[in-house]
Amino acid sequence: MNRKEFFKWTAAFIGGLALPIELRPVDFRLLKDLAAAGDDDALWQMVRDQFLLDPEWTYLNFGGLGACPLPVLNSIMEWTRSEERAPSAGHDEKEWWRAKEKLAALLGKNCSKEDIGLISGATEGVNVIINGLPLKRGDEVITSTHEHVAVNAGLLNRMQRDGIVIRLFDPDLKSGLGNVDRIARLINNRTRLILISHVTCTTGQRFPEKEISKLAREKGIWFALDGAQGPVCVPFDIVECGVDFYTASTHKWVMAPKRTGFLYVRQGLLDTLRPIVAGGYTTEKNDIGKGEMVLHPTAQRYEYGTQNDALFFALGKAVDFVETIGVDRIWQHNHALAERFYRGLKEIPGVEIMSPEEEAYRSPMISFRMKTHEYSKVNEHLSKDKLRVRSVGEGGLNCIRVSFHICNHDGDVTKILESLKKLAG
């Protein structure tokens, strides 16, 4: 933020002064009307105006770190202010459950608020899954070579401590369904869990969640998805996809505050997945004198301790923002930009596309590398042109990942393609 913007923004918050026009959070009724009117240009312009993103930069990394729109930022401030005025322990239960209710609706028509625990993000969620399941020495877990460090470190930690065995497969980038076969080949009578990304952070590949779920169910294996790149990034229904456990960070595609996320547990499995941190909110009742404890009967059992509840109330606002525009509309917008970029990359000499060959398994994140330039050099070059992307070192891929979200437009696709053409010479 430059000096001018800083003062403008600070003024906007101090003492509830009238907000400068360009920092005024959009009225959701207006946004809804615009979305219904079908005027794409006007809608996306209004959406873009809701972000503080530095106009000098083209931000193409929502897959790395999301940005909050003004209604969400305002919500954090409003809740924080009212709490600081009259500090009181615990959180407003009604508002807390309202946030869960909204999130559950976003995740699909059959998901209920009781299936969701509000946690800090995917790193915490995968660690609850890895450490909360009753895995013993020699039990095998299948995962891919394209996972985030949250999954890798979580699994290695349990391997070092308890002797679980990690079985790896290289994602099939040619055939989405080929991944089901690759997983099936690793299954034996010691396999207990399949834990993979919903959408990988490396190439933006979407795994065929329904088919893997079916396989896992047939074999009596738990199936968990690391959905850090799932909700709002790709359309899906959490209950219909049949997954047992699902976790996500909502700061990315949902555009909620940082350090918000959730853990979903399929109905009937709460007692299978033990909380790994317990405290206030985890239990329905506990009596240390009698040595008794009853865990909370919902996924609240994965919550504990004092919360920065303003963040989670603002998560509810982020869901409102997304729903007002429409998840399908957002998907169509982001997908169209990503596909135009994908096609454009094919025209640039020396570019090797790393994202899946089948469109159905691609997401709004596209990865590539250049035969002529090392990936760090490509990123340096793009930075000079003020394009913010993410380098991917995971799985030894050494490539660049470009994410397209609601703040982006056709001009951004043109800009990055032109920049890459310049580099390619």
Q: What angle do CA 19, 407, 348 make, to 5 degrees?
A: 150
Rounded to a whole number of angstroms, the minimum distance from the CB of residue 61 to ligand PLP is: 10
CB 212 within 8 A of CB 117: no
Q: Residue 106 CB, nearest distance to ligand PLP (Å)?
A: 17
Contact mark string toward ligand PLP, 326..365, x via CB under 6 A: ----------------------------------------
Distance CA(130)–CA(166), nearest Å, equals: 11
Number of residues forming the site for ligand PLP (CB under 6 A): 11
What binding mask, one character per residue, do residues 226-245 give for ligand PLP by CB under 6 A, x or -? x-xx----------------
Q: How far apart are CA 268 and CA 290, in angstroms?
A: 28
Cβ proximity to ligand PLP: between 99 and 228 the closer is 228
Between 44 and 236, CB nearer to ligand PLP? 236
* Beta carbon nearer to ligand PLP, 149 or 294: 149
Sort 53 into a burial class: Cβ within 10 Å, 0-12 / 13-18 / 19+: middle
Instruction: Work out how close the CB of 377 gets to ligand PLP at its nearest, in angstroms, rounded to a whole number.
Output: 23
Q: Would you state the torsion angle of the CA atoms of residues 133, 136, 140, 142, taken in this order, to the nearest 10 degrees?
A: 20
Residues 207-226 that bind ligand PLP (CB under 6 A): 226
Residue 201 or 366: the one with the smaller Cβ distance to ligand PLP is 201
CA-wise closest residue to 336 among 396, 405, 272, 387: 405
Binding mask 384-403 for ligand PLP (x = CB under 6 A): --------------------
Please say which residue, 201 or 337, places its beta carbon nearer to ligand PLP. Answer: 201
Comparison of 124 and 412: residue with beta carbon closer to ligand PLP: 124
- In angstroms, give the least distance from the CB of 199 to ligand PLP: 7
Q: Whose CA is closest to 142, among 179, 188, 186, 178?
A: 186
Site string for ligand PLP, 99-138 (x = CB under 6 A): ----------------------xxx---------------
Complete edge-to-edge strand list for the sheet that includes strand 399-403: 351-353, 365-370, 399-403, 390-392
- Residue with Cβ nearer ligand PLP (144 or 213): 144
Token pair 């909050």: residue: 68
Say how far residue 129 (Cα) sits from the centre of its chain: 17
What tokens were used for 289? 């004198």
**Which residues lie closer than 8 Å to 10 by C-beta, 6 or more apart?**
none
Binding site for ligand PLP (CB under 6 A): 121-123, 148, 150, 197, 201, 226, 228-229, 249
